[in-house]
A = this chain, B = another copy of it.
Amino acid sequence: MPKVTQEHRDARRRQILAAAREVFAAKGFAQTSTGEIVAASGLSTGAVYSYFPSKNDLVAAVCESAVEDLVDLAALRDPGELLDRIRARHGSHGRLMTQVWAEAAVSPGLAARIRVRLADDQAKVADLIGQDRRSRGLPDTADHLGVAGALLALLTGYSQRLAVGQDMDTPGFRHALEALLGDAV
């Protein structure tokens, strides 16, 4: 029997998650059956079940992988770039994120897992804000975690609006985003 490498297993897992993301984004979690994900993955039912024994496992894995790191130092220095990034990936991914929030809001176990990812992301962005301040010789006194939270809240709201077909990006919107950051960064 050929030995299945870890890389092979990881690739299979990614393949299943990519299929699950597509189907969930199009139909929502509740309306999707595991059979549809199996069909979209191109693998066998047994193969999919060996990675994800239940639909809940698929939902949880998709939700955790959907929380993306969007912010880096370059984007902090050019906040319009952040909006461009969100706009570029908003179609299927944005719809999926609305499903993730909705599912987590009624699933305490899933919410707990999502919170860990969100808190990690917020801490990373706070670190970047601190780095940026130091690189520009600014005093390192602000509550970077709070500023990072405000930035991420605004980006979340922007993404939700895009998901229902409303792009709020205007010069005034960018100006307000820069003010939010500029005052503290």
A118 to B149 Cα, complex, angstroms = 23
Interface residue A144 (Cβ < 8 Å from any Cβ of B) = yes
User: Are A172 and B146 CB-contacts (below 8 A) given A95-B106, A102-B98, A102-B99?
Assistant: yes
Q: Are A150 and B180 in contact (CB under 8 A)?
A: yes
A28 to B156 Cα, complex, angstroms = 20
Copies of this chain, tallied across the complex: 2
A157 to B99 Cα, complex, angstroms = 14
Q: Are A153 and B150 in contact (CB under 8 A)?
A: no
Closest 10 CB pairs between A and B? A146-B172, A143-B172, A153-B157, A30-B30, A156-B157, A179-B183, A150-B176, A102-B102, A149-B168, A146-B170
Interface window among A5-13, A33-41, A49-57, A159-167: A159-167
Interface residue A112 (Cβ < 8 Å from any Cβ of B) = yes
Measured as residues with beta carbon below 8 angstroms from the partner, the interface class of chain A is 35 or more
At the interface, is chain A mostly helix, strand, loop or mixed? helix
Complex: chain B residue closest to A101, CB-CB: B98
Question: Which chain B residues lie closer than 8 Å to A29 at the CB level?
Answer: 30
A119 to B164 Cα, complex, angstroms = 12
Can you list, as one digit per residue, whether each of A1-37 has a CB less than 8 Å from chain B (1) or not (0)?
Answer: 0000000000000000000000000111111000000
